[in-house]
Structures are given as structure tokens and as C-alpha cells.
Amino acid sequence: MSLQAAIIGMGRWGRTLVDSVQGRNEAGIRFVAGSTGTPDKARDWAAGQGIRLHDSYEAALADPEVQAVVLATPHKLHAAQVEAAAAAGKHVFVEKPFTLDKASAAAAVEACRKAGVVLALGHNRRFLPAVAELKAMLADGRIGTLLHVEGHFSGPGAAAYKPGMWRADRSESPLGGMGGMGIHMIDMMVNLAGPIAEVAVTSTARVLTNGLDDTTAMLCRFACGATGTFATLAYAPRCWRVALYGSEGWAELTDHEHLVYRPREGETVVRDFPKVDIERAELEAFASAVAGGATYPLPLDQAIHGVSVFETMIVSAASGGSHAVP
């Protein structure tokens, strides 16, 4: 039987999540209810999806048919919404950023642990087959000793953020593209190289005039000893790239599917992986974890650590100095 879920937040991304699984019995999850801050805009769409539209988050939590909630809501709401779901005994899938500070992330995780509910975080690039191959390269020695990681995730979306939109609020979108894009790459770097120990960040607005930064760059040191660089540009053509540089070879993954590996000796290897619906994959993994299957493949200590890195990046950008990640 499919997990009965409520979608909380029916903007563009909430609808994308629903569309990825709705009507597919094999996905193991079905949206039956939901709520949103602008119900009049979502009423027809919700009806078309067979979703009961509640007038509040609290009402959705009180719906006896709802076993889980999927949160596609403003960042600042996540922590309280996760804790409320846990108190109601509902499993939780929450979009990124998980929360905006380490203390609230840890409290949300603890609330779910005490309630015995599954908590999953929507870093969907963990479900890319090419990322599994990068992890295999690190494990089997093809990269050798990891020396350096490069990450980049950019796009022009922030140019469309207008006054009154929650994403245009600097408290919701600190460091420009970090909330919408960059936090995904921070998770990718942690997934591949482990905890980040120290960061130094510069963030500024060179083009945007809506109050948000458009250029954010980071230099970091991982706990393993490797270094890293990262950039997210909120007003640039789309770019997604992660690269690993090691003592025995380097590997670069671009646009999710195109992987190049160059060993110290021998021929360069180029592989193109099939496209995967990573939104569907993450929701299927969440439903499977709730059903007693494999644990959701993003450890909660890494979810908390990713928030801690983000919080420390904000501090570093404000101070202009390097800061240890607590």
C-alpha cells in the first residue's frame, strides 16, 4: 500500500514533487492532501491531482489519512514544521535547506528520533548514478589520495525574484544562490569528501539590484585534509559541475550525466549516464524507508552538518575571515 502523504507548499517546486510520483503505484507514495499559503492559486491544480486542500498546515497534520508530510515551504518555516509533524506522528520529507542554523536542525532531528518517525532531506543529486560512480572511484583507489574538490552550481533564477516574494527576502536567501542551488553542491561535496572543517567566503552583488547577492564563492578545508573551492552565481547561465582531484587521477561530472576520468597513466575515460528522475527517486526512497526498507541515503548527522556549513558560510561572508565549522 502506498504511503499517504500531504504536500505542504504548492508553488512550482511542490508541484514538481507531486508530479514526479502521483498516479504511479510503484512509487510507493501518493499525495492525498495538502496546504499552501496561496490556496486560491492552487485549488484547481490540487483538485486535478486528487488532493484535498486544507486551509492550514495544522489541519493537514490533523487529517487522519495523512501518514507523512512533504515540506516545500519557505526555508525559515522548516524547523518548526518538522517538529510539529513529529509531534503529530507524521513522517517528514523536507526540502533544502533543511533549516538555517545548526541548533534548529539538531532539534528537528531529535524531535523525529523521539517520535520514531522517518526524516528525509531533499538533496536529490545523491540519487544520480554518476555520483555513485564517483564514490566508487574514491573507494577503489582510482582517484588515489583526495587532494582537492571543486563544486559549481549556478543559474539565473534570482533575477525573477520580485519584492514580496519570499525568495526575494534576504533572510530567506542569504548568500544569493545558496538556498536555491548552492546548498545542493555543499551536500554533494560532503557526500563525496566528508565533513567540512573550515570555510572562507566572499559574497556580493555585481549585477542584481533586488537586494540579493549574485556571486558567492568559498574556499574550504575538509576534515580529511583535502581542500575545496565552490561557487554559486544567482545571475548566470545554468552550470552544474563537481570535480575530484587526487594523487592517481581526476574525475569531473557535469550536468549530472557526463563523467570524465583521467588517470595518472593510461587513457582518459568518458561516460554518459542515463537521465534519472531524481525527484521521483528521492520520494521513492523516503517511502521505502517508512515501509521498513533501506535507510534513506542521507545520514541525519550529515543533514545537520550541511546546515552548520551554511550557517558558518554566512558568518564568514559577514566577517571577511576564515571560520571553523562547529
Q: Which of the four pLDDT bands, split at 50, 70 and 90, describes residue 163?
A: confident
What whole-number distance in Å separates Cα of residue 322 and Cα of residue 64? 49
Give 251-296 pLDDT, tens digit per residue. Answer: 999 999 999 999 999 999 999 999 999 999 999 999 999 999 999 9
Contact 119, 69 (CB under 8 A): no
Which residues are 271's β-sheet partners? 259
Domain 3-124 has CATH 3.90.650.10: no
Q: For residues 307 and 61, what is the distance between their CA atoms, to the nearest angstrom? A: 26
Beta bridge partners of 94: 71, 121
* Domain boundaries for CATH 3.40.50.720 within the chain: 3-124
- The helix/strand/coil state of 204 is strand
pTM of the predicted protein model: 0.95
- Residue span(s) of the chain under CATH 3.30.360.10 come to 128-324
Between CA 253 and CA 151 the distance in angstroms is 10
Fold for domain 128-324? Dihydrodipicolinate Reductase; domain 2 (3.30.360)
Mean pLDDT, residues 293-306: 98
Query: What are residue 317's phi and psi, to 5 degrees?
Result: -60, -35
Name 161's Cβ contacts closer than 8 Å, sequence gap at least 6.
Answer: 167, 168, 173, 210, 212
* 133 contacts 271 by C-beta, under 8 angstroms: yes
How many other C-beta atoms are found inside a 10 Å radius of the C-beta of residue 55?
A: 10
- 3-state secondary structure (DSSP) of residue 317: helix
Residue 13's pLDDT band, with cuts at 50, 70 and 90, is very high
Distance in angstroms (rounded) separating the CA atoms of residues 214 and 175? 8
Q: For residue 245, is pLDDT > 90?
A: yes
Terminal Cα distance for the chain, rounded: 42
